[in-house]
Amino acid sequence: MDRTRTLTAMDEVHMAAKLADLKDEHYRNTLALSTIIELLIDKGILTREEVERKAAELDSFMAHPPYPMV
């Protein structure tokens, strides 16, 4: 693919639509994960502290986040 070509208005519309789809998918995945975590906590299978501790542990393994931090 030639990276020097100029994007047309339609290319930009398609790119914006793809970004919107990714955001929607990210939202749905985050909602599903949050729901599962809350159910596990409500049922006494996990505590909020255990979830937070494991999240911090896994986060510490990432040397550089795969996305820009704003």
User: Which pLDDT tens digit goes with each residue over 48-70?
Assistant: 999 999 999 888 887 676 677 76
Mean pLDDT of 18-47: 94
Q: How far apart are CA 13 and CA 62, in angstroms?
A: 34
Kindly tell me if the per-residue pLDDT of 10 is higher than 60.
Answer: yes
Q: Above 60 in pLDDT, residue 19?
A: yes
pTM of the model: 0.62
